[in-house]
Structure 1
């Protein structure tokens, strides 16, 4: 029981990360395989939709941070999406190389891609929503202004 409490954030993130990955895979599959949207665009659309979902569930259910004011929410959202842009670049490059160059099955590759991206996203989200880090950043900014 103590082990579960100790790793609660990671376990809950895995649950919601799995849900975000499912959203990503489903949207990608519909957009690319059914609607014939080009691979990189279908992947980017899937990324955007799954990350909007992920922002809110990560904020409220994984790291249990408060709503705060709109300025704070915008700031967190900006950091969140900025960190996720790195994962989008990896995501798009991985998908293009694996599907178009190697030609491997796009759904299998998308699942592998989501596992790798999910780990990166967990650690970047933990940093963004962790109040200890936020307080540290505020202290650094305060020291710089002196």
Structure 2
């Protein structure tokens, strides 16, 4: 029981990450294989929808942060999407190389891709939503502002 409590965030993230990955794969399959969209476009649409879902479930259920105001929501959402844009680049490159250059099955590659990207996303999300990290970021900003003021004097 102690181990479950200790690793609760990661386990809940894995559950919702799995659901977001299933959503991502299903949308990619529909867009690319059924609607004949280009690979990168289908992948990007799947990424956007699954990350929108992921933002809210990660915020509320994994890291259990509240929405105190819209400013905080947009601030966290901005960091969240910025970190996920990097994972989109990894996602798109991996899919293009594996499916278009090495003609492997796109759904198997998409599943492997979701595991790799999911691990990156967990750690970037933890950094964004973790209160202790946010406190450190605020200290860093204050220190930087203080040094800039000292240089002006």
Normalised by the size of structure 1, how large is the TM-score?
0.99
SS in 2 for 1:114: helix
Query: 1:57 is matched with which residue?
Result: 57
Aligned to 1:25: 25
Distance (Å, rounded) in 2 between the aligned partners of 1:143 and 1:86: 28
Count of matched residue positions in the alignment of Structure 1 and Structure 2: 146
CA distance in 1, matches of 2:119, 2:33: 26
Segments of 5+ residues of structure 1 without an aligned counterpart are none
- Measured against aligned partners, the alpha-carbon deviations of 1:35-61 in whole angstroms (never above 9, x if no partner) come to 000000000000000000000000000
> Residue 32 of structure 1: CA displacement?
0.2
Matched, 1:16 2:16: yes
Residues in 1 aligned to 2:138 and 2:101: alpha-carbon distance in whole angstroms = 45
Higher Rg of the two aligned structures: 2
Distance 2:8 2:81 in 1: 24
Quote the offset at 1:68 in angstroms: 1.7
The offset of 1:142, in angstroms, is 1.2
Query: RMSD of aligned C-alpha atoms?
Result: 0.5
Which ranges in structure 2 are unaligned for 5 or more consecutive residues?
147-153
